[in-house]
Structure 1
Amino acid sequence: MAKLAFLGLGVMGYPMAGHLQKAGHDVTVYNRTAAKAEAWAQEHGGARAATPREAASGADFVMACVGNDDDLRSVCLGEDGALAGMAAGAIFVDHTTVSARVTRELYDAFAEKGAGFVDAPISGGQAGAENGQLSIMCGGEQAHYDAAEPIMSVYAKLCRRIGDSGAGQTTKMCNQIAIAGLVQGLSEALHMAEKSGLDGRAVVEVISQGAAGSWQLQNRYETMLDDHWEHGFAVDWMRKDLNICLDAADEVGASLPVTALVDQFYKDVQSMGGGRWDTSSLFARLRKLG
């Protein structure tokens, strides 16, 4: 069993850290809102720290799941950052969805101290985190990945190294690009059924068994038809992710016309007050349009 730190106790990080403690690891958590760290410690029996540096001190692995590039830098760097508390040979595993640019920047910073850095963004949503069934796509040195993989396997159904530093984040971009197109396509299909006077559930029962079947269709069609959006992955976060995708596409010369269009559709959802709605709320936009 390893000595671990976990930084960031949002809807994903809170249960992930809990799985690690339950598996027998010695886990110390840090969260920007200290009350949440205290609640986690009371629930799971682990320790809490006042700063990322304190949490990371003496840890073999430091896991993080925060919000964006700036949040990640803030928990990694500076006098109270995790890097200041980590010893040579320790490994930082970042589960945040961030840009490949900040990943490579931090990889270099950690390497200067002799510490490892694995970018390991996750997919599977809150349910995947709670059930320990996440898909984890990783970038970084093979040796660092090999050392960290048994730790990540506690909350993963699939964990794979894709390539060097930044490869995990780029793979997560591909994931978000695919989801954006799928959700828009599903929304349009349900919209077509509804406008044609068909029973949406009956339509899904048939098409889900053929080539149109997908995780989004199976897990979101009922809440979409019921106009229920207070769950899942927020539109605000999806727009953050899609902007990362579009910026990276400019850097590498990739063409993402559908992604750019769906990003604007999500902007419309935000203007409807749906920034915290699930990403399947693209259907609500079509209903509003009539």
Structure 2
Amino acid sequence: MSTTSLSKAPVIEKKPINFSNILLGAGLNMSEVTTLGQPLEVIKTTMAANRSLTMVQAGKLVWSRGGILGFYQGLIPWAWIEASTKGAVLLFVSAEAEYQFKKLGASNFVSGMGGGVMGGLAQAYLTMGFCTCMKTVEITRSKQAAVPGVAQQTSFQVFKDIYKKEGIRGINKGVNAVAIRQMTNWGSRFGFSRLAEEAIRKFTGKRDEQKLSALEKVGASVIGGGLSAWNQPIEVIRVEMQSKTNDPNRPKNLSVLSTAKYIYQGNGIKGLYRGVTPRIGLGVWQTVFMVAFGDIFKRMLNADGAGH
């Protein structure tokens, strides 16, 4: 048999490590959190920390804490610090990991999921620990009574107090839960998005080398983001571990397992899914920005060598 008749295996190109990828990740995450991201985060966190509240009641509580600005508690500086670093880490690590999985012969779904898991893991331990903790503290801590002549405690003063009392562990409380959440978050989002992309290709008759339109990319990301909310119990556990709500019955030195047991005993299985509705909205919003817009802009900037 002639060697020319043998079908050639597709060449998997390595996506270049490009500085524009890092800047793009930071820019997309800053845009995501400053628009709908933080309001959805505040609603979701409020419901997870106060598990008797409905979504409407949580919205009213947030509004009572500062009107429209109440929905942006924790945005400055913590969400901005987190967004400007975690987006860059996610796109940088996930793109490299996705390429390595494809090189090993994994499918687009498995490669996308593997890239997301590695990107999420890197996010949690490199950039997100103290930022996520401080955002939750800001959203859940009791507001000081307005006393004439007494200054309100600033976000940085709260940070200093926690660090003084509990050290580095205090400001990274719940980081293991954050890691589990981020691994399952981005593993699901990238994986389900790639799976949806393959379904769209089959439906539209596009070959693997043909690029999806921007609308098709966004549609795949909406599916991936919505389905990623299956891990809401991990998010509720993370919020409870970092929360500053007053509950005398809450055990001290909570671990992931003991927190899950505490929530289940107090609120049942429903308690572990509090805030899932705004979480779905947040998952869709984040995935559209980081997967769809990430792919689109990487293509525009020639930072995505192989494309999807």
The structure with more strand, counted as a fraction of residues: 1
The structure with more helix, counted as a fraction of residues: 2
- The answer to which structure, 1 or 2, has the higher relative contact order (CA under 8 A, 6+ apart) is 2
TM-score band w.r.t. shorter chain? under 0.3
Structure with larger Rg: 2
TM-score, normalised relative to structure 1: 0.25
TM-score, normalised relative to structure 2: 0.24
